[in-house]
Amino acid sequence: MRRKDERGHWWTDGGVERAVTRIVRRLSPGWERRKIARKTRLHADLGWDEWYVLRVAKPIRATVHVTLDDRALLDLKTVGDLAGSVWSRMAEA
């Protein structure tokens, strides 16, 4: 299945997950790249407080071209939730 971002680019769910994981890794200096995966928890594992998690909105908008609701971001628990939130906001083919 493929979906379209806000600029009309096509993505697969796997492609979205890889892009989101790369963004989370960039925001988590000190962490080994391979230790950040779908099940990694933003708050408990990475220690992102409720405001730090908002930092992810800008690179996601720039890279995956999806605008996320800030309050919805605060509700996310894992990297997988974040990828799923991005994917759910893309338009289906």
Partner 1 sequence: MRACLVAAAALLLVPARAAAQADSTRPPADSARGARVRDAAAGPAAPAAAHRWELLVGHSYSSARALLQPATLVLEQERDAPLYSVVDAAVLLRGSLQPRAWLEMGLRARAGSARPPAQRAYGAMARLFAHLDPILVAAGYEYLADGHFGVHQSAATLELTPLGGAPGLGTWVSPAVHVRWRPWLGLSWGDGARPYARLAAEAALGRTEAGLEATGWLVKGSGVGFVQGDVSVQLVGGLYLTASGEIGRAPPTFEPCGRVGVGLGFRVAAGF
The residues binding partner 1 (CB under 8 A) are: 1, 13-14, 17, 27-32, 35, 37-39, 41-44, 46-52, 54-55, 57-58, 67-77, 80-81, 83-85, 87-89, 92
CB of 56 to partner 1, least distance (A): 10
CB of 45 to partner 1, least distance (A): 8
Exposed, middle or buried by CB within 10 Å (0-12, 13-18, 19+), for 24?
buried
Cβ contact 68:57 at 8 Å: yes
CB of 63 to partner 1, least distance (A): 14
φ/ψ of 35, rounded to 5, equals -85, -5
